[in-house]
Chains A and B, each alone.
Chain A
Amino acid sequence: MARTSVKKSGWIGRIFFADLLAGLRLTLRYMFSHPVTHRYPDHEKWVPYPRHRGHHFIKTNEEGDVNCVACELCSQICPCDCITVIPFENEKGDRRPQVFDINLARCLYCGLCEDACPADAIKLGQEYEVACDDRPKLVVHLEDLVAAPRKAEDGGQLRPARLQPDGSGRSVEAAGAKSQGQDWWRHIRKGK
């Protein structure tokens, strides 16, 4: 931007430092814009967009039964081989997973399992705080996957949050506080 304005203004522009003034104008505009920094984790928390690929979850039907038919397509397509599925036949005669383990430490969150699933069961959700101090804890089981947070339908916003007091380092949304609204970043630089 600075270069082109100098070219246009020629030698008069160079005498009056058009390039330097362009730089100063830019930084002045930034000085009076909103900061983009998230005050994570103890003041604000980012709720990711619905397309975000985070911690997996498994959908359930109206009867509370998992959608998964244990076809093992997800574990077949998984590029890092982190899904273990062992099928069994339940009392209704349906094929269901007896074991459904995902090793989050190996997973690369590509979302291929979600694409491959014929039963609309495994999805990648909004949860992204999966750090912990013990590797075996990163292998999540069927009940964890059923209980895991879903996709954030109202994602793409910054919500007031506070640090969870149990020392896990997780951030939880503060109750009763108002969010900054969806697409808050669009208002950072007004007019552009």
Chain B
Amino acid sequence: MDSLLTLLPMLVKMAIVVGVLLLLPLPLTWMERKIAAHIQQRPGPMRVGWHGLLQPLADALKLLTKEDHIPADADRRLFAMAPVVALVPPFLVFTAIPFGTPVQLFGQEVTLMISDMNVGLLFILAVSGIGVFGTILAGWSSNSKYAVLGSLRSIAQMISYEIPMGFSVIGVVMLAQSMNLSQIVAAQEGLWNIVLQPIGFFVFFVAGLAEAQRIPFDLPEAEGDLGAGYHTEYSGIRFSLFMLAEYLVVVMLAALNVLLFFGGWNGAPPFVPEPVWFLLKVGFFVWVFMWFRFTFPRYRYDQLMTIGWKVLLPLSLLNILVSGLWML
């Protein structure tokens, strides 16, 4: 009975997080299409529901009823596995993301995160690194030129950009003296890290765009030269799993940007609960990602590598050096 009482809040929290994450791409696709449309002076989806609000539901129905096609020469087992492998890491990451300070509920203290890990940041970086396996498997098992080229590009890109991304957060860890995300947020109580770590934020933001494979770094699925990249051969429900994973990575990176550099739930205006304030900030960053997407063209492959290795990596090392000197 006692163990059940400690287990129950955990299960409830997990159910809420998983449920919200599964449904999140619906409003996000609507938002993305609306933002794209308004940047291009179009109204966007207007027919299904009020201002096209039910459009994502119609799209989801369409995707679910599509034929689940597996190419004849594909490695069937890996082909079926890849979307799930791609989907698991973004979900896992959210176990370590805090949404606010602990609250009192029914006389019990409830933390607003699934697991309060001391190495939360390391866990997130490590788990999101696994995400590349989904891409590798998808590209390889499709047995298609476009898919293999796309997945090769995406592997090179994700591995190159994980390094500056990891280095850029070291400055934050040095300032907070901790890898625990709630302690990192607590350390930004007075001054957000964006003031102290502008270079770190810049490197993290750009590397994050590349990790999420968003424009201007969306080479793995460059429509013009690769069909759709590693998920060229996917259709129906399996394709929608890749889409889901992509949107969750975007949300995860927005959440990390807020937690590491924009003070998490700190600085909430009066009468706004901390989690709501945090989610508003995350929403703002998701919007910024979409704004970038419809503003910039795609970088060439060699430019991508140049930015990663010759600009971002030295910048992140410089950031560590300057932070260290400043802390002395």
Contact = CB atoms under 8 A, between A and B. Distances in A.
Interface of A: 20, 23-24, 26-28, 30-37, 39, 188
A27 B39 CA distance: 6
Interface in B1-59: 35, 37-44, 46
B291 interface: yes
B115 interface: no
Interface residues of B, number: 15
Max chain A C-beta neighbours (<10 A), residue from B37, B40, B41, B42 = B41
A16 B39 CA distance: 23
Contacts of B37: 35
Contact of B291 (A28, A33, A34, A35): A28
Contact of B296 (A20, A30, A37): A20
B296 A35 contact: no
A27 B41 contact: no
A135 to B, nearest CB: 32
Contacts, number: 38
A35 B37 CA distance: 8
A27 B291 contact: yes
A23 B295 contact: yes
Given A26-B295, A27-B291, A35-B43, 19 more contacts: A23-B295, A24-B295, A27-B294, A27-B295, A28-B291, A30-B38, A30-B41, A31-B38, A31-B39, A31-B291, A33-B41, A35-B37, A35-B41, A35-B44, A36-B41, A36-B42, A37-B41, A37-B43, A188-B41
Contacts of B291: 24, 27-28, 31
Given A27-B291, A27-B294, A27-B295, A39 B46 contact: yes
Contacts of B292: 24
Contacts of B294: 27
A11 to B, nearest CB: 15
A37 B42 CA distance: 5
* Residue in A34, A37, A39 with the greatest tally of chain B CB atoms within 10 Å: A37
Contact of A30 (B39, B43, B44): B39
B113 to A, nearest CB: 33
Nearest to A24: B295
Nearest to A32: B38
Nearest to B35: A31
A125 to B, nearest CB: 29
A35 B295 contact: no
A34 to B, nearest CB: 8
A31 B291 CA distance: 9
Contacts of A36: 41-42
Contacts of B41: 30, 33-37, 188
A161 B295 CA distance: 34
9 contacts: A24-B291, A27-B291, A28-B291, A32-B38, A35-B38, A35-B44, A36-B41, A37-B42, A39-B43
